[in-house]
């Protein structure tokens, strides 16, 4: 690949803004020398030793001016994040001080790191495979405990181990077919190809079964809160957020536009979209709000349909029922603090109906559990089993599964071994895209472009 590992890179490794501590990271062959040039230890006369944090001051070599009081550590290769010499200078967390330390590091021989270049070096040096490298970003951006758990599992190599085992099976079968083709007169050890392909297909199916909830844990589900006017949609949004985010009044049609907020409901990160009431509006502004509500519903991964449980089902409710037919969602029967009128459950057959009071908070725990069950649909949650949490990984697994099925069909129909081998090789390459064993330089560049500088 076209990346250099011979130079030394530096970057601020903590978020911008003010804080108690900020860190400048340096990685590469010149990192220890840069440390010695910039940091004057409080206790002089002792050589820098790896893995020992030392107190001192960053001093401008040109002027002798003290820049900041710091703690600094040198971590010796190869037992580091990048498998290179790494230096961290822990300064005060103000951007002026950090930028000055970074500037001096660059003047001392480093260059500014690109986005994700520290993790890229960890990948290129074999410290992490590609799936683990992506998990680093997922840990940083985790939106829920379950999402963090799934990301940490991937970082520990659980997904890579499962994918690598299947890829190993396919390569074993491919080697058998190619040996039989290249050496037809020799005795090739037998290989139960149908059984091997069946086992590979079963494993790929198991990994794909958890992809939907894994992706939900990672990036959240777009969730439309819909219903006719004045049933409590905005009150529900406020109740789930535990904050007064949306304006609530007794006047129907208060919400004229969509309002979006992030929340974790039932352990699932959701992008909640409060919408205008779905009704036949005469007012042109309200009608525009209804159109946006329909658009929000069309793009939603999950629907929270709010109805007024204190009143009989309204004709507008029955019209909404046709809009949500075939969608995934939960029927939220609001105003349970008032006398209940039956009949709402029939509006959405197959959906869980949960009585709540957005006013008092009664029933919110049941709603969170219903959301959890609706998203997981009986499948495993984040735990010891690896969850496929990136669309890129799911796409590669689907392509591998299709090629395995094609190879099995070709073998069963008596096609020559070299024809079967084409699909086996394609399946192995698709799986190699996940771990980085069969990946283009352009794809690697796109993946690491999403990282922040300093990671």
| Sheet containing 111-112, strands listed edge to edge, beginning at the edge strand earlier in sequence | 39-41, 54-59, 66-75, 86-93, 19-27, 9-12, 111-112
Q: Which residue has the higher pLDDT, 369 or 383?
A: 369
Whole-angstrom Cα distance, residue 109 to residue 30? 7
102: Cβ contacts below 8 Å, ≥ 6 apart:
10, 11, 12, 24, 112
- Looking at the predicted structure, is the pLDDT value of residue 254 above 50? no
| Owner of token pair 């480093």 | 110
pLDDT of residue 330: 92
CATH number of 135-210+387-436, picked from 1.25.40.10, 1.20.120.430, 3.20.20.120, 3.90.105.20: 1.20.120.430
Checking DSSP bridges between strand 54-59 and strand 329-334, what pairing results, if any? unpaired
Which architecture characterizes domain 217-376 according to CATH? 3-Layer(aba) Sandwich (3.40)
Euclidean distance between CA atoms 130 and 146, whole angstroms? 22
Percent of the chain with pLDDT over 70: 89
Please report the pLDDT score of residue 199 as a whole number.
93
- Best CATH choice for the domain 9-127 from the list 3.40.190.10, 3.30.1360.120, 3.40.50.1820, 1.10.940.10: 3.30.1360.120
Sorted by where each begins, the domain ranges of the chain are 9-127, 135-210+387-436, 217-376
Q: State how far the Cα of 285 lies from the Cα of 74, in Å rounded to an integer.
A: 62
Integer angstrom CA distances of residue 176 from 34, 167, 216 = 53, 14, 39
Domains 135-210+387-436 and 217-376 fall in the same CATH topology: no
Q: Name the pLDDT band for 64 (thresholds 50, 70, 90).
A: very high
Q: Is the peptide bond before 78 cis (omega within 30 degrees of 0)?
A: yes
pLDDT at 267 over 70: yes
- The predicted-structure confidence for 174-198, as pLDDT tens digits, reads as follows 888 877 665 555 555 667 888 999 9
């Amino acid at each position: 690949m076209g990346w250099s590992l011979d130079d030394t890179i530096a970057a601020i490794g903590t978020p911008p803004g003010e804080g108690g501590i900020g860190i400048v990271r340096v990685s590469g062959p010149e990192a220890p020398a840069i440390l010695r040039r910039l940091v004057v230890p409080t206790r002089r006369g002792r050589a820098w030793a790896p893995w020992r944090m030392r107190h001192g001051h960053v001093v401008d070599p040109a002027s002798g001016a003290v820049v900041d009081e710091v703690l600094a550590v040198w971590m010796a290769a190869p037992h580091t994040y990048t498998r290179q010499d790494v230096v961290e200078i822990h300064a005060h967390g103000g951007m002026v001080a950090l930028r000055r330390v970074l500037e001096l590091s660059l003047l001392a021989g480093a260059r500014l790191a690109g986005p994700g270049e520290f993790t890229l070096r960890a990948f290129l040096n074999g410290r992490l495979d590609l799936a683990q490298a992506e998990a680093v970003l997922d840990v940083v951006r985790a939106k829920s405990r379950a999402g963090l758990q799934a990301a940490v599992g991937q970082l520990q190599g659980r997904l890579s181990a499962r994918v690598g085992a299947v890829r190993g099976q396919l390569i074993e079968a491919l080697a058998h077919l190619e040996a039989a083709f290249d050496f037809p007169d020799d005795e090739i050890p037998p290989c139960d190809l149908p059984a091997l392909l069946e086992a590979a297909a079963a494993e790929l199916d198991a990994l794909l079964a958890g992809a939907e909830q894994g992706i939900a844990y990672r990036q959240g589900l777009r969730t439309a809160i819909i219903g006719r006017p004045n049933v409590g949609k905005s009150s529900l949004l406020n109740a789930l957020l535990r904050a007064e985010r949306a304006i609530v009044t007794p006047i129907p049609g208060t919400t004229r536009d969509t309002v979006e907020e992030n929340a974790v409901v039932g352990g699932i990160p959701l992008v909640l979209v409060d919408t205008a009431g779905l009704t036949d509006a005469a007012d042109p502004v309200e009608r525009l709000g209804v159109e946006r509500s329909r658009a929000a519903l069309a793009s939603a991964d999950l629907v929270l349909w709010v109805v007024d449980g204190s009143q009989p089902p309204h004709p507008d409710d029955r019209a909404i029922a046709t809009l949500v037919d075939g969608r995934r969602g939960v029927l939220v029967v609001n105003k349970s603090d008032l006398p209940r009128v039956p009949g709402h459950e029939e509006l959405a057959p197959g959906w869980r109906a949960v009585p709540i009071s957005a006013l008092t908070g009664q029933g919110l725990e049941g709603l969170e559990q219903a959301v959890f069950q609706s998203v997981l649909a009986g499948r495993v949650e984040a735990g010891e089993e690896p969850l496929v949490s990136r669309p890129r990984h799911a796409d590669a697994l689907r392509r591998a599964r299709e090629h395995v099925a094609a190879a099995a069909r070709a073998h069963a129909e008596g096609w020559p071994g070299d024809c079967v081998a084409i699909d086996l090789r394609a399946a192995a390459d698709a799986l190699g895209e996940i771990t980085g064993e069969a990946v283009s330089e352009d794809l690697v560049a796109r993946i690491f472009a999403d990282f922040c500088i300093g990671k």
